[in-house]
Structure 1
Amino acid sequence: MPIATINIVEGRSDEQKEKLIEKVTLAIHEAIDAPIANVRVILNEMPKQHFGIAGQSVKKMGR
């Protein structure tokens, strides 16, 4: 049973997250021939102040 864990910064719509889960599931299915029913996708959504680039949080950077 393949499990994909994806870390993303908050701010995406439910529709975007649903589409991401669908596309990742299909990519795993196509890449390794795993049955779609066996593919698991976990999205970890983090606050913007919990992710940094070049010494600043993305919240502080305005992203």
Structure 2
Amino acid sequence: MPLVDITLVEGRPPERIRTLIHEVHEAVRRALDAPGAAIRVVVREVPAEQWAAGDQTIAERRAAERQEQGDQGQGKQGQGKQGQGR
């Protein structure tokens, strides 16, 4: 009995998770010629605040990326205003 265990950061719509389960199930069935009823797929969703890499949670990394994008956007707006005054 094949068992596939998938861990993801939470936040995807249920339809996407259902599609993932179906696609993984079909891939295992084809690759191993396993009977469909014998294949198990487990999807675990972990909150972004509880998953870390390099001592930074995914939530912290996302917040930093949003901040960086906001800072870059403000810099571009500021440049445009300076150019208009000349």
Q: If the length of structure 1 is used for normalisation, what is the TM-score?
A: 0.92
Query: For residue 34 of structure 2, what is the amino acid of its counterpart?
Result: A
* 1:9 to partner: Cα distance: 0.5
SS in structure 1 opposite 2:34? coil
* Unmatched tracts of structure 1, length 5 or more: none
Report the structure, 1 or 2, having the larger helix content: 2
1:7-51 Cα shifts (integer Å, max 9, x gaps): 110010000000000000001001110011111100111000111
* 1:53 to partner: Cα distance: 2.3
Report the structure, 1 or 2, having the larger strand content: 1
* 1:54 to partner: Cα distance: 2.4
Structure of higher CA gyration radius: 2
* Unmatched tracts of structure 2, length 5 or more: 64-86
Higher RCO (Cα < 8 Å, 6 or more apart): 1
Query: For residue 55 of structure 2, what is the amino acid of its counterpart?
Result: G
Corresponding residue for residue 45 of structure 1: 45
Give 1:4-43 correspondences, 5 Å limit.
4-43=4-43
Runs of 4+ in 1 over 6 A off after TM superposition: none
